[in-house]
């Protein structure tokens, strides 16, 4: 969690450092081992892993090549050791923005994907459009959905899906005076630091 003394950039550097340390220790490599494999100094690698220094683009390429992963994978969070099963009886129903929703993952804020079961009441009294960072994918389970996306409206029936950039203003409405149930999977833009290089 971001502390009161950390800027977003510092927080992202610490997250990157944690990820890089995880990748190294997962392979049982010391900093010396990694330095020999990448040609980067131990001191430089140590400062990157501690979040004290922003690595150069060339250093990131060297690290990705050494770990045999993509550049984007360097910015993923390390796996979370939490329960992967969510029972219906354990899922709390929340209310917000005129919607009812249940979280379908126990991974919390540390996860990139956020699956949610959403019920859109037929009598929803909210006319606001929303936008945020990341992507959204939704799938209609029951009822009829009107998805307003930017200046366009789409009607979706059960079995139909939509995938869109969540920065586009959007809104969900139930049609035909019937509640609509959907699955929503959102993915926050977690690669802010990566985008700063590109």
Give residue-wise pLDDT tens across range 47-97: 998 888 888 989 999 999 999 888 888 877 655 555 577 777 777 788 888
Domain stop point among 31, 51, 75 = 75
Residue 82, domain member (yes or no): no
Residue 183, domain member (yes or no): yes
Pair 123, 179 in one domain = yes
- The CATH number of the domain holding residue 106 is 2.60.120.10
Number of domains in the chain: 2
The string of pLDDT tens digits covering residues 122-151 is 988 777 888 877 889 999 999 999 999 988
Domain stop point among 21, 53, 75 = 75
Helices and strands (H, E) in the chain, number of each type: 5, 9
Tokens of 1: 């969690």
Q: Which domain holds residue 95?
A: 88-192
Residue 145, domain member (yes or no): yes
Pair 17, 101 in one domain = no
pTM of the model: 0.57
Residue 12, domain member (yes or no): yes
Pair 102, 167 in one domain = yes
CA 1 – CA 14 distance, rounded (Å) = 11
- The CATH number of the domain holding residue 32 is 1.10.260.40
Residue 13, domain member (yes or no): yes
Residue 33, domain member (yes or no): yes
Pair 92, 70 in one domain = no
Contact 145, 173 (CB under 8 A): yes
Which residue pairs, CB below 8 angstroms and at least 24 apart, start in 119-124? 119/179, 119/180, 119/181, 120/145, 120/172, 120/173, 120/174, 120/179, 120/180, 120/181, 120/182, 121/174, 121/179, 122/174, 122/176, 122/177, 122/178, 122/179, 122/180, 124/98, 124/99, 124/173, 124/174
Query: Among 196, 197, 167, 192, which residue's Cα sits nearest to residue 77?
Result: 192
Pair 182, 128 in one domain = yes
Per the listing, tokens 């993952």 go with 105
| Res. 42: pLDDT tops 70 | yes
Pair 116, 186 in one domain = yes
DSSP character for 80?
P
DSSP-H helix ranges across the chain: 8-26, 31-38, 42-49, 57-67, 192-195
pLDDT of residue 110: 54
Pair 181, 96 in one domain = yes
Pair 49, 141 in one domain = no
Pair 129, 57 in one domain = no
Residue 172, domain member (yes or no): yes
């Amino acid at each position: 969690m971001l502390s009161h003394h950390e800027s977003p950039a510092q927080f992202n550097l610490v997250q990157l450092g944690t990820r890089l340390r995880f990748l190294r220790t997962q392979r049982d490599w010391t900093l010396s081992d990694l330095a020999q494999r990448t040609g980067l100094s131990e001191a430089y690698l140590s400062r990157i892993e501690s979040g004290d220094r922003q690595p150069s683009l060339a250093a990131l390429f060297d690290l990705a090549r050494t770990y045999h992963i993509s550049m984007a994978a360097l910015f993923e969070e390390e796996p979370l050791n939490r329960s992967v099963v969510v029972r219906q009886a354990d899922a709390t129903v929340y209310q917000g923005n005129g919607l009812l929703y249940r979280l379908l993952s126990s991974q919390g804020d540390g996860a990139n994907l956020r699956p949610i079961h959403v019920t859109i009441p037929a009598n929803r009294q909210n006319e606001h459009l929303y936008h945020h960072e990341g992507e959204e994918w939704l799938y209609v389970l029951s009822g009829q959905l009107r998805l307003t996306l930017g200046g366009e409206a789409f009607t979706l029936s059960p079995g139909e899906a939509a995938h869109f950039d969540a920065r586009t203003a959007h809104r969900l409405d139930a049609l035909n005076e019937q509640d609509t149930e959907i699955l929503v999977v959102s993915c926050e833009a977690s690669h802010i630091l990566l985008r700063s290089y590109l």
